[in-house]
Structure 1
Amino acid sequence: MLIIAGLGNPGPKYQNNRHNIGFMAVDAIADEWNFGPERAIFQAKVRAGEIPTPNGPVKALAIKPQTYMNESGRAVGEAMRFYKSTPADIVAFYDELDLAEGRFRMKTGGGAAGHNGVRSLMAHVGPDFRRARMGIGHPGQRELVMPYVLGDFYKVELTWRDPLLRACAEALPFAAAGDDERYQAEVMRLAPSPKADPRKASRDD
């Protein structure tokens, strides 16, 4: 079972926050591939379906933990154990401050880089899950980070956010087939990132 995990915070208060772009990606994927209805299980909202690949369809579970960001790993860990999956079967979508707005990078393993949702996943499933890092840029000053990530996307940001969400969904068969490098390239082909704002500090690794 491929577990497609979005990181975010539950409830209408947070639904349009930059920190919830992982939830948005999972919703876009489940809609694109006509996953089944949403249900509550594993302390999460989940939808099940299949992703076509050249080697045949891959069963997938789109999961949005409802435990708040800091405890995201609990729900994903429950799902992984239930389906007897491994960390390599988990693709986690989340916001990345250290990537410029609209950039997208796939990575397996590594540290948490200050992201509490990633830290929780590492605690519950180990570090070697696959990471779909969605760049939201950096506000430029450390003390502005919290209000920035917990703030809603501005209307102008939707010009890169919405194409990125669509691209993550449309290109997913490459990730489902295990080709993360090709998936990354296809997402960026479908949704080229805007020019980086020189006022925002960001890096690509």
Structure 2
Amino acid sequence: MSTWLVVGLGNPGPTYAFTRHNVGFMVVDELAARARSSFTSPRGMRGEVAETRLAASGLGGVGADAQRVVLLKPRTFMNDSGIAVAKVCAFFKIAPDHVIAVHDELDLDFGQLRLKSGGGDNGHNGLKSLRAHLGTGDYPRVRYGIGRPPGRQDPAAYVLAPIPTSLREDYEVETSRVADAVETLMLSGLADAQNRFNS
């Protein structure tokens, strides 16, 4: 049975921990918490890695139907995310169609979620790096809507600024929903996940 890789796109370090650009990390952290799995930093992987299994009973489940799942938070910066992804794929023998990239999406309002496979990179440097290092853009993406910045705020400043405390709880709820969508994608396929979660 094929192994899945769920990569959260983001920037390492406490400075970026609660920024909109790091919602991918937040989702992967939520999946690891559900699996009661801890991250380690294996030599040469350029990322923090957690391993678990996914069965019908959920993450951390066991049984004949359990699929192996690798969770990844690259320790490179966003623009070089593909380096860590390529290394983990090579080590665990994961094909691109089993790489799920979870990332922030300016073109979707907060609370909107869209799952798709392939397509353009829409100016997202993390996705550009994955395409460069995987040699293809044909992998599932989970687009976590963060909305456009208000007024004339620079998009780069907006995505890298800390999420306001007043919105933290809303982001926690949305992060849990996005994690549900990732689990559904792995368990029952992209079409079913799209039907249930695309908005």
- Which TM bucket (shorter chain)? 0.7 to 0.9
Q: Residue 192 of structure 1 aligns with which residue?
A: none
1:17 aligns with 2:19: yes
Shift of 1:179: 1.4
1:28 aligns with 2:25: no
Q: How many residues align?
A: 188
* Aligned equivalent of 1:63: 72
Match of 2:141 in 1: 131
Q: Aligned partners of 2:152, 2:73: CA distance in 1, in Å? A: 28
Measured after TM superposition, the shift of residue 34 of structure 1 is: 2.2
Task: Name the aligned partner's letter for residue 102 of structure 2.
Answer: F
Query: Residue type of the partner of 2:39?
Result: E
Q: 2:50 aligns with which of 47, 59, 78?
A: 47
Aligned residue among 75, 83, 87 for 1:78? 87
Q: Render the CA deviation track for 1:148-179: whole Å, top value 9, x for unaligned.
A: 00011112323431111112234443211251
CA distance in 2, matches of 1:161, 1:103: 12
Shift of 1:119: 0.5
Kept in 1: contact 2:144–2:178 (CA 8 A) = no
Q: Tell me how far apart the structure 1 counterparts of residues 191 and 167 of structure 2 sit (CA, whole Å).
A: 26
What residue ranges of structure 1 are gaps of 5+ in the alignment? 189-203
2:177 corresponds to which letter in structure 1? Answer: A
Amino acid aligned to 1:6: G
Q: 2:167: which partner in 1? A: 157
| Residue number in structure 1 paired with 2:39 | 38
Q: CA deviation at 1:143?
A: 5.7
Percent identity between the aligned chains?
A: 34
State the distance in 2 between where 1:162 and 1:5 align: 18
Whole-Å separation in 1 of the counterparts to 2:176 and 2:100: 17
Does the 8 Å CA contact 2:47/2:84 hold for their aligned counterparts? yes
Deviations 1:91-145 (A, max 9, x none): 0101000000121100111111111101101101120111000000001567610
Sort the Cα spacing of 1:113 and 1:142 in 2 relative to 1 into closer, same or farther, 3 A.
farther
Output the CA distance in 1 between the equivalents of 2:127 and 2:182: 21
Give the Cα–Cα distance (whole angstroms) in 2 for the partners of residues 151 and 9 of structure 1.
12
Unaligned runs of 5+ in 2: 58-63
Give RMSD over aligned pairs.
2.0
Residue from 75, 90, 101 that aligns with 2:99: 90
Q: Give the TM-score normalised by structure 2.
A: 0.87
- Using the alignment, how far apart are the partners of 2:32 and 2:111 within structure 1? 21
| Aligned AA (1:47) | A
TM-score (ref. length: structure 1): 0.84
Do 2:114 and 2:197's aligned partners in 1 also have CA atoms closer than 8 Å? no
Q: In structure 2, what residue type is equivalent to 1:139?
A: P
SS at match of 2:73: strand
Q: Aligned partners of 1:145, 1:58: CA distance in 2, in Å?
A: 38
